[in-house]
Structure 1
Amino acid sequence: MRRIVIHIALVAGAALTLAGCGFADVRSPVPEFMRAKAPEPAPLEPASDVKRMLKEKLDSVFTAASQPTHVRVSEPRPNLRGPGWTACVKAEVISVIGKPLGTQTYRIEISEGVIADRRQIEPEDTCMSESYEPI
């Protein structure tokens, strides 16, 4: 009887030890055949018609009080920071008190066919080298 209990304990211990030998993470330092496969990247959604979106919802980029004129947009590019697309938008705007501010440039992020975010460009943005078309 005692011998059976010892065998069961040894088998259970071996089973628990081997249960921890599953596949390792993608970045773990084990041989390639032991690593889990890297997840497939999400499929890229089709590019939206940015010109049409801006014609319909220009107030999602510029406030109505700024009275944007000469609005121009670049071609959409895949967003490197997440899903969706990005594009650059330029327009001549005026301040709240009516003085011209000049050309303002914004980078817009498009997700699921909607302008999800907009921000002024930063030095590392590529908006300065983009070609623009009027809307």
Structure 2
Amino acid sequence: MGQGQVQVAALLAGAAFMLSGCGLADSHAVWPEALKVKATEPAPLETPPDVKRLVASKLDSVFTAGSQPAHVRVSTPLHDPRGTGWTACVRAELTSVIGKPLGTQTYRVFIHEGAIFDRRQVETDDNCVTETYEPVEGAVTAEAQRNAKP
């Protein structure tokens, strides 16, 4: 390396060292607030969804078509701690494919931007066990909709 290249490298290293503390220094500087770098604010929460209406209109997104859900009930929506969406618990009396009653089954639904995008059957350690449920009026299965068409 020539002497000129060493000087340029030393100059660049010195400038990088001096600039590396700018972010830290800005948060503790005695500058007016308008001149400081502002921290990003978290995204605002969605408004709580109408879980009753959502489940009643999209029952097939929670239960399989052959399960014939009856006595559908939902819990109040809770903010999903992993994002800006919501979660709720949905319960119903289900029937197996061969017509045998399966009993009460509970699912946790994940709601984002007013739509159910995922559902999972709850486990024993899930808090859906302690939730309070309200009945869903007008919940119509996909099979009942097909049979109702002329």
Number of aligned positions between the proteins: 122
- Percent identical across equivalent pairs? 56
Cα distance change on mapping 1:12 and 1:88 into 2, 3 Å: closer
In the other structure, the counterpart of 2:139 is none
Deviation at 1:38, TM superposition (A): 5.0
In the other structure, the counterpart of 1:51 is 52
After superposition, residues 11-50 of structure 1 pair within 5 angstroms as 14-24=14-24, 33=28, 39-50=40-51
Runs of 4+ displaced beyond 3 Å: 8-14, 36-39
Higher helix content, 1 or 2: 2
Q: Which amino acid aligns with 2:19?
A: A
Deviation at 1:85, TM superposition (A): 0.5
What is the TM-score with the length of structure 2 in the denominator?
Answer: 0.71
What is the TM-score with the length of structure 1 in the denominator?
Answer: 0.79
Structure number with higher relative contact order (C-alpha < 8 Å, ≥ 6 residues apart): 2
Deviation at 1:83, TM superposition (A): 2.0
CA distance in 2, matches of 1:93, 1:115: 20
What 5-or-longer segments of structure 2 have no aligned partner? 30-36, 137-150
Deviation at 1:37, TM superposition (A): 6.2
Cα distance change on mapping 1:20 and 1:95 into 2, 3 Å: same
Q: Secondary structure at the match of 1:117?
A: strand
Deviation at 1:40, TM superposition (A): 1.8
Q: Which amino acid aligns with 2:28?
A: F
Deviation digits for residues 24-83 of structure 1 (CA, Å, limit 9, x no counterpart): 5xxxxx9x738x865322100001111111111100000110000000000111111222
In the other structure, the counterpart of 1:78 is 79
In the other structure, the counterpart of 1:118 is 119
Q: Which amino acid aligns with 1:89?
A: V
Aligned-residue CA RMSD (Å):
2.5
Between 86-95 and 122-131, the greater mean CA deviation after superposition: 122-131
Deviation digits for residues 68-112 of structure 1 (CA, Å, limit 9, x no counterpart): 000000011111122200000000000111100000000000000
CA distance in 2, matches of 1:98, 1:68: 12
